């Protein structure tokens, strides 16, 4: 029986962090204050620009005797640069690659099941969860320098969820070690479970006006076993209960039938539904496969705003000014059917108001609202690209034994 959406638990302190310009300083401060362990899990670790500052912080922690363990994904980060492999070995910083690509690459069944989570736990006291990779806001590995920063969010968390985050990274490290994928196994205890973080200290302080205290929150972990639908189910429940407004910002938005019907139903019962989506071309399949679903949404009165200044990588939502989520999961089949994802769900008016304010500003000042009439007049070549993208996406899912209707 698949897991139900976990209940929200009180007693959390949350700080919303926008982009690497806010996330990296908070992360580095926590790493520099670490006394026993730093556990970091990310899809992409890119050492360009400010990404290198995070790497240096990990190195500093390792050199002062902190247990530092890093998990990266085999597609997002297939290898570490030789310079950093040497520095991590000397520190030491232990690192592993989740599911490295073999000879057939992504054509091999199962290789689309990626580790897309972005989690970090420091001394068991402070945790981070969101959508931001270790990647400079002004750099894209495929497109080069960016004129404006990409839009994405993360959370700094204190409270009961931190131990859940830590246990998640512990399990993942142990599974990788068990199948012999450990890349740096020379240190004692490398194939053992991570030791309990003895001698934990309080997390480093953050500005009090940026912290939302005593917040109810839950950690949603999507995997390919019992938690296959937990993130989608949480979205559907919140959308179904919405009375006033739904704001969703999502990078790769290719919703399945249940999600489309839920959004259309909400709009038709008078709920204001606003989507902030990727407006710049990044990847062929994700960009064009999303377009065919816009028609039904626009006809139902859903507002679609395309983010224009840079790439949109946010995976967040705010509903009725109370329910919110920040995490790594897109609303597309790669996230909802295949990848390991992590989202935090929050019920708190203060936190929701802060996130809503940023999304509204992005829609009003950084987005371009889609015109329903112009959408219907899009040229035949664009429609052909959309059909091709959907065919490719469905074929790739079929290889994985999945359907997404």
pLDDT tens-digit series, residues 20-67: 999 999 999 999 999 999 999 999 999 999 999 999 999 999 999 999
| CA dist list (Å): 400 to 311, 331, 386 | 28, 18, 21
Q: pLDDT at position 182, please?
A: 47
pLDDT band at 336 (very low <50, low <70, confident <90, very high): confident
Q: Which of 46, 73, 123, 223 is catalytic?
A: 123
The yes-or-no answer on residue 86 being catalytic is: no
Classify the phi-psi angles of 258: left when phi > 0, otherwise alpha if psi is within -120 to 50, otherwise beta.
Answer: alpha
Q: pLDDT at position 29, please?
A: 98
Question: How confident is the model over 331-337, as a mean pLDDT?
Answer: 89
The yes-or-no answer on residue 123 being catalytic is: yes
Q: pLDDT at position 4, please?
A: 81
Residue 169: name the closest of 100, 94, 82, 268 by CA. Answer: 94
87 pLDDT higher than 90: yes
- Return the minimum-mean-pLDDT range out of 179-183, 333-337, 361-365: 179-183
The yes-or-no answer on residue 313 being catalytic is: yes
The yes-or-no answer on residue 320 being catalytic is: yes
Q: What is the pLDDT of residues 384-398, one digit of tens each?
A: 999 999 888 888 787
Backbone angles phi, psi at 383, to 5 degrees: -60, -35
Q: Which of 116, 139, 212, 305 is catalytic?
A: 116
For residue 177, give both structure tokens. Answer: 């070690």
105 pLDDT higher than 70: no
Contact indicator for 116, 339 with CB cutoff of 8 Å: yes
Rounded to the nearest integer, the mean pLDDT of the chain is 89
Instruction: Give the CB-side neighbour count of residue 356, counting CA atoms within 13 A.
Output: 19
Question: Where in the chain is CATH 3.30.870.10?
Answer: 12-208, 215-399
Q: What is the pLDDT of residues 179-230, one digit of tens each?
A: 764 444 443 343 333 344 433 445 555 555 567 888 999 999 998 887 889 9
What's the topology of domain 12-208?
Answer: Endonuclease; Chain A (3.30.870)
Q: pLDDT at position 3, please?
A: 65
Q: How far apart are CA 93 and CA 275, in angstroms?
A: 40
The yes-or-no answer on residue 116 being catalytic is: yes
Q: Which of 12, 46, 73, 118 is catalytic?
A: 118
Question: How confident is the model over 175-180, as a mean pLDDT?
Answer: 80
The yes-or-no answer on residue 402 being catalytic is: no
Report the predicted TM-score, pTM, of the whole model to 2 decimal places.
0.91
CATH, range 215-399: 3.30.870.10
Residue 215: name the closest of 166, 156, 164, 165 by CA. Answer: 156
């Amino acid at each position: 029986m698949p897991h139900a959406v976990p209940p929200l638990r009180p007693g959390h302190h949350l700080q919303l962090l926008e982009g690497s310009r806010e996330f990296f300083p908070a992360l580095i401060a926590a790493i520099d204050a670490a006394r026993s362990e730093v556990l970091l899990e990310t899809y992409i670790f890119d050492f360009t620009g400010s990404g290198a500052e995070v790497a240096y912080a990990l190195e500093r922690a390792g050199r002062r005797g902190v247990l530092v363990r890093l998990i990266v994904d085999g597609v997002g980060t297939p290898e570490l640069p030789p310079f950093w492999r040497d520095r991590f070995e000397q520190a030491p910083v232990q690192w592993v690659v989740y599911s490295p690509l073999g000879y057939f690459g992504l054509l091999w069944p199962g290789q689309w099941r990626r580790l897309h989570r972005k989690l970090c736990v420091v001394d068991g006291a402070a945790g981070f969860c969101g959508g931001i990779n270790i990647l400079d806001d002004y750099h894209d590995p495929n497109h080069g320098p960016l004129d404006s920063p990409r839009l994405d969010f993360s959370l700094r968390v204190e409270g009961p969820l931190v131990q859940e985050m830590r246990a998640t990274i512990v399990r993942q490290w142990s599974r990788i070690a068990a199948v012999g994928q450990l890349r740096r196994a020379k240190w004692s205890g490398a194939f053992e479970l991570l030791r309990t973080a003895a001698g934990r200290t309080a997390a480093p302080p953050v500005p009090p006006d940026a912290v939302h205290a005593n917040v109810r929150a839950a950690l949603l972990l999507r995997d390919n076993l019992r938690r296959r639908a937990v993130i989608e189910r949480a979205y559907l429940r919140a959308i179904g209960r919405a009375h006033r407004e739904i704001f969703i910002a999502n990078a790769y938005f290719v919703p399945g039938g249940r999600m489309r019907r839920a959004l259309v139903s909400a709009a038709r019962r008078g709920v204001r539904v606003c989507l902030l989506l990727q407006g710049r071309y990044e990847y062929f399949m994700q960009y064009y496969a999303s377009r065919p679903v816009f028609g039904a949404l626009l006809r139902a009165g859903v507002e679609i705003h395309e983010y224009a200044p840079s790439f949109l990588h946010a995976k967040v939502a705010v509903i009725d000014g109370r329910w919110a989520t920040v995490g790594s999961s897109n609303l597309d089949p790669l996230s909802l059917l295949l990848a390991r994802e992590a989202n935090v769900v929050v019920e708190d008016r203060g936190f929701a108001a802060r996130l809503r304010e940023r999304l509204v500003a992005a829609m009003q000042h950084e987005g371009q609202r889609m015109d329903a009439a112009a959408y219907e007049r899009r040229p035949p070549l664009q429609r052909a690209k959309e059909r091709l993208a959907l065919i490719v996406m469905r074929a790739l899912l079929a290889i994985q034994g999945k359907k997404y209707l």
